[in-house]
Amino acid sequence: MGRQFFVGGNFKMNGTIKSITDIVKNISEADLDPNTEVVIAPPSLYLLVTREHLRKEIEVAAQNVFDKPNGAFTGEISAEQLTDSGIGWTLTGHSERRVILGEQDDFIANKTKTALESGLGVILCVGETLEQRESNKTLEVVTTQLKAVADLTKDWSKVVVAYEPVWAIGTGKVATTEQAQEVHASVRKWLAANISQEASEKTRIIYGGSVSEKNCRELAKQSDIDGFLVGGASLKPAFVDIINARA
Residue positions annotated with a catalytic role: 94, 164
| Residue 167 burial (CB count, 10 A) | 19
What burial class does residue 238 get, using C-beta atoms within 10 Å of its C-beta: 0-12 exposed, 13-18 middle, 19+ buried?
middle
Distance between CA atoms of 80 and 83, rounded to whole angstroms? 5
Amino acid at 200: S
What is the rounded (10 degree) CA torsion for 1, 191, 91, 241? -40
The torsion angles phi and psi of 120, rounded to 5 degrees, stand at -80, 150
Torsions phi, psi for 83 (to 5 deg): -65, -35
d(CA 214, CA 216): 6
- Distance, in Å, from the CA atom of 214 to the CA atom of 229, rounded to the nearest integer, reads 15
Rounded Cα distance between 124 and 92, Å, is 5
